[in-house]
Chain A
Amino acid sequence: MRKISMIAPGVIAAMLSLTAQGDELRQLRTELEQLKQTYETRIQVLERRLQEMQSAEPSGAAHAHANAGNAPAAPSPQRGVRRGNAFNPNASVILNATFGEFSRDPAMYALPGFALGEDSGPGEEGFALGEAELIFDANIDDRFYGSLTLALATEDGETKTELEEAYIQTLGLPAGFTAKAGRFYSRIGYLNEFHPHVDDFVDRPLAYRALLAGQYGDDGVQLRWVAPTDLFLEIGGEVLRGANFPAGGAAHDGKGAASLFAHLGGDVGVSHSWRAGLSHLHAQARERKSDDGDNSFSGDSDVTIADFIWKWAPQGNPSRTNFKFQTEYLHRAEDGLFNDLDYSGEQNGAYAQGVYQFMPKWRAGVRYDWLEADNRGAAVADSVLDTLGHDPWRASALLEYDPSEFSRLRLQYNRDASQPDVDHQLFLNFVMSLGAHGAHAF
């Protein structure tokens, strides 16, 4: 308030002196007005000339710009448009729901010889909404790319949010290196890195279900290197927290798991392409609970995976017909204490599948997978580790209709011999993606 009372007299004084110089001011104003008018006409003339020149410019004259460096030859019309959300990350939503029919009660599901991790069941009977995923990703700056995947699912009547992936990845490291940090799915094997909604089949292979609880993801860092060769060669490794199955309890001061992987790949002619890989995960488990919560394992878990993918598309154009063959072999060795009793186990599993797009929008596929366990030690008798003399296996058939790139409808039948009594399973499933156009990995 005091300030205003001090300023006010100054303003009044200035105004008084202005009226005193009124004539001079009026003169100045008219001069200014004249100046303005001349400039306006001048600008108009210049604008008109510019327009004339632009429309008269022959289409081929653009090469004259070449020496002017990077100046665009013709501006794109959308260049002027600025939207407030232009810098928002790409966002997409994945909706996924399944109708399941089982000849046996899925609550009784088990894989004899294996203590299963979380969410390793065959799914629910009847109508069930699977996870709805929210994905955001974008380049952070010229050095980093970031991605976030949230899964929304209902568990025991409550909607839960799970942070599936949240990582950054470098874009500008020299010599073919790429580093990744945060929470991500490990790059071991082939299927492990993918979110289940991009899988060809409704459910993961038994080997993934039993040995990796679907897939292994954790907090940590990854470094990989692509060789400067004609043949695709990539090698890399990860150090991870070790909080999730097959690790557990974030052993070794939160550095409880490490992996190494190598991938090779290339083309054979124009119609065939392939990728092969070998990876190893060493995980330490500290009181790793099984899905039912009744069992606990502490010790070492070592997973080795060999994978091979072969794709065919006539002339390399998959639009009309294409075929994909995919197989992986998983081996897991565990050694430690199971419910405080000695246990050492060797477990193997594999699957092979082929999916054929026989006409646009339609795909059909078959898959066979099996598991076997050789568990020893005092812990085995009368526990879930006892195989009961049965090696689980399963055969599946799939029919898929994709109205567009963004929608899939699937019908799948499983003859599931996870347990000695065969379970006949039928799934009707949709996976749809809304929003940004995601790129598809090989």
Chain B
Amino acid sequence: MKKLWLLLGGALFYITLAQPAHAALAVFACEPEWAALAQELGGDKVSASSATTALQDPHHIEARPSLIARMRRADLVVCTGADLEAGWLPLLLRQAGNAKVQPGSPGYFEASQWVELLEIPARLDRAEGDVHPQGNPHLHTDARNITRVAAALAARLAEIDADNAAFYRARHQDFAVRWQAAVQRWEQQAAPLKGVPIVVQHRAWPYLNRWLGLREVAALEPKPGVEPSSAQLAAVLSALQNEPAKFIVRAAYHDARPSEWLAERANLPIVVLPYTVGGSDAAQDLFGLFDDTIRRLLAIAQ
């Protein structure tokens, strides 16, 4: 018995010490877009990973043990906020025992604090579905919001890793210039999308719509986060007869069936947007994400 305990103690000691000395700042991002942004700004001084993938619904993942372990070693947590992660993030923070990344400390960063949120509900009632009291959290779909978050995140990286502050500042300057040029390019490319009427599956696109001028005429989900029933889909179908749309927009992580049902009956094409980094083969980084999003939208709008 004594031998067993010794062995166990030795193993524990080994695991604790054998961890690589963390040269790079460990960034725990809740969504792939923030992992990509942190990597973009931090270069080799940062090692960023995302808790969710582009094929997972950021509202609903499980607070898995592997995520607790990852949170435990994080130097910086970068999340969207606005209650997008309310179902799992508070639990990870409480279970990981990591003082550095608790809300209120410099190691906790919420993107939603740095941009103007849309669709702030006038009435808070669960009968309205999965409403977010602080506003719609899918804010990264407007590339101009990435600009704002990047500025704040670069400042935060410089704050918690002061030794490399100049490095982060320089990388951000470089990124901001390239991003600004890309935003202008995207805006020019997307000019034909202005005023195009669309149907969305989940209301995940108000920021994209406002930016590019797409016009959302209907949503398949009767209320945010509520799976549409066939009666509700039929109602959308009849509403489309009065107000026709050109195509249906769905994120890569959404269930295909509701949009396919409507596409067949309303004779509308579907465009599956990557939604975030990793959501399509071309969306391997933030630039690729918007390149691919606009390319797909233009292809279907033509």
Contact = CB atoms under 8 A, between A and B. Distances in A.
A401 B16 CA distance: 44
Interface in A253-296: 263-267, 270, 273-275
A421 interface: no
A81 to B, nearest CB: 9
Contacts of A406: 126
Contact of A440 (B62, B96, B115, B152): B62
A173 B100 CA distance: 10
B151 A73 contact: yes
B147 A60 contact: yes
Contact of A176 (B72, B150, B226): B72
A437 interface: yes
Interface residues of B, number: 74
Nearest to A273: B64
Contacts of B62: 273, 311, 313, 318, 440, 442
Interface in A54-72: 59-60, 62-63, 65-67, 69-70, 72
- Chain B interface secondary structure, helix, strand, loop or mixed? helix
Nearest to B115: A74
Given A75-B116, A233-B69, A319 B12 contact: no
Contact of B88 (A63, A171, A404, A440): A440
A77 B116 contact: yes
B75 to A, nearest CB: 12
A59 B144 contact: yes
A442 B65 contact: yes
A74 B66 contact: no
Contacts of A171: 93-94, 99, 102
Report the contact-size class of chain A (Cβ under 8 Å from the partner).
Answer: 35 or more
Contacts, number: 199
B57 A224 contact: no
A235 B72 CA distance: 14
B298 interface: no
Contact of A78 (B73, B135, B151): B135
Contact of A226 (B53, B64, B97, B159): B97
B44 interface: no
Interface in B115-130: 115-117, 120, 126, 130
Nearest to B22: A228
Interface of B: 12, 15-16, 19, 52-53, 55-57, 60-66, 68-70, 72-73, 83, 86-91, 93-99, 102-105, 112-117, 120, 126, 130, 134-135, 144, 147-152, 154-156, 159, 169, 172-173, 176, 179-180, 183-184, 225-227, 253, 255
Given A67-B155, A227-B69, A316-B52, 15 more contacts: A59-B144, A60-B147, A76-B113, A145-B94, A226-B69, A228-B16, A229-B15, A230-B66, A273-B62, A313-B62, A316-B56, A318-B61, A319-B60, A319-B255, A360-B227
Interface of A: 59-60, 62-63, 65-67, 69-70, 72-78, 139, 142, 145, 169, 171-174, 176-178, 224-235, 263-267, 270, 273-275, 311, 313, 315-320, 360-361, 404-406, 434, 437, 439-442
